[in-house]
A and B are shown apart, each in its own frame.
Chain A
């Protein structure tokens, strides 16, 4: 069999590389070894020298497509250039990070290449007998795990961010850097970017802890209970944020930017406290990545308890304020203890 190349699309961010790039490299390395081939990467942009250098520490080959016209992302141009490169290099696999930009790029690329694309995959394997690519993709809000088989090369798929570990071991040597001169067809770029707006706001993705309210939080007072709990937890964690399921957002008690779920953010914090949330498919899609889940719900049969580590069956209006006060108390207790320790140290007092 010919030498198989596994290609990944490295994603440049403002401050170097998007974290998903390292995850793509890790997954690409594994597939390259399964296919007894090599790992190649491509970066498309302008002024990407440093990013190319960085990626060359992990990939055997790095294709640099550097052009002033590519400074800002154009799904049309970027997809077409990725197609140009793939038609020349003929990789066996093309892995792309499932970022908002690439959700636009990947289907266009696949269409051009006449292949299928499995989006938002979390795991890949090579089918030993055929060498086909098997892509694992959670569907139906993560309730069902599907495995799709890709038969046509380049096997094309997008990888959900944070689904696999990032690569940690650089190559012993350095990968080869290859400049690829693109043919840019301006007529393809039909979309014009008028303005770029940076949004500060709450970044639920970066929160260590999320306290999320659901349908059962019926009024502003209920939301206040949640905000109080958020404040109490901030004594323990650096970043604690309020979140919400779709029914709570629909009441307009909280802004839609806090929505977690299929239609909303997908989060994976250390700790997720689901308050008065029943556990619909729509909501679970957004939060099952949480390391620890605590559910507070007055319905003992609520599905949310089945996916939680800890559960409290009870009215949240009673549970949450008591929980909040006790958390504060325990925290003060810690502070007091440390004070006592300091003051009881011998030889300190006059």
Chain B
């Protein structure tokens, strides 16, 4: 069988495992600011890359990762290549900052067309920052290829992609002819961890293509997000700390207070 061409679209975000109070708002610029948080791959995009690697475990496949937005931090970039992506295409341009989902999909579309023939495009189901969950489905609409969302498992079989996807009552198993696009959910599994020196050394040698707006020859104007206001959600509550001479006593006191306050 010929080599499957898989494209995985990823985006860098501030690490969502970071504490919530590290995020604040620049009101004037209508931007979210994060302080002291390491950059990370959007978790669902990591799942999408893992889904691609799972396919590559069983098929001859070439995985091209396309990243749009901020310049990828070195550790993020190395990780992507070390786990087994073959090619990395970085789309960076100040024009790509804070664009809306439609425009983001359009930029990725132009990059995908440039990369060449593809069998499968994978994206995360949504991002951990803005979380619209639109980009993948829009790319598929633009390319007029079938799209399956919220994948829990992705398998290639005889020119089709078979996907287990989340539904209201459980899961549906669906099938779509290739080429197709699939948005991936966390059930696919964590991105594998590759620590070997060899993998890292190989990663350092892999080709990285960097493209800006001019390289892509965009024909449509990019639109920014239509943000009216942004604010920090003050969900802070007055936390009643339970006293006690020992951890055990605090535990017992908590039970008593829960009862007194009608929590139980």
Chain A residues with CB under 8 Å of chain B are 13-14, 18, 73, 75-76, 99-101, 103-104, 107-108, 110-112, 116-120, 134, 138-151, 190-199, 233, 236-237, 246-247, 250, 256, 259, 262-264, 271, 278-282, 284-285, 288, 292-295, 303, 305-315, 318-327, 329-330
Contacts and interface: CB of A to CB of B under 8 A. Distances in A.
B241 interface: yes
Nearest to B173: A195
A313 B241 contact: yes
Contacts, number: 265
B239 interface: yes
A196 B254 contact: no
Interface in B4-49: 16-21, 23, 25, 32, 43-44, 47
A100 B150 contact: yes
Given A111-B102, A310-B239, 8 more contacts: A138-B233, A147-B228, A263-B44, A285-B16, A288-B235, A310-B241, A312-B250, A322-B250
B228 A149 contact: yes
Given A148-B226, A315-B247, A259 B18 contact: no
A145 B257 contact: no
B56 interface: no
Interface in B144-171: 145-150, 162, 166-171
Contact of B149 (A104, A278, A310, A312): A104
B251 A319 contact: yes
A197 B18 CA distance: 36
The secondary-structure label for the interface of chain A is mixed
The 4 closest A-B pairs by CB, nearest first: A322-B251, A199-B170, A314-B247, A318-B247
Given A194-B175, A312-B251, A282 B233 contact: no
Contact of A320 (B18, B190, B251): B251
Interface residues of B, number: 81
Nearest to B148: A191
Given A191-B146, A319-B251, A312 B134 contact: no
B17 A280 contact: yes
A313 B241 CA distance: 7
The main secondary structure of chain B at its interface with chain A is mixed
Interface centre among A116, A146, A197, by most chain B C-beta atoms within 10 angstroms, is A146
A118 B132 CA distance: 7
Contacts of B100: 116
Contacts of A250: 190
Interface string B235-264: 111011110101111111011111100011
A117 B105 CA distance: 14
For A259, A305, A310, the residue with the greatest tally of chain B CB atoms inside 10 Å of its CB is A310
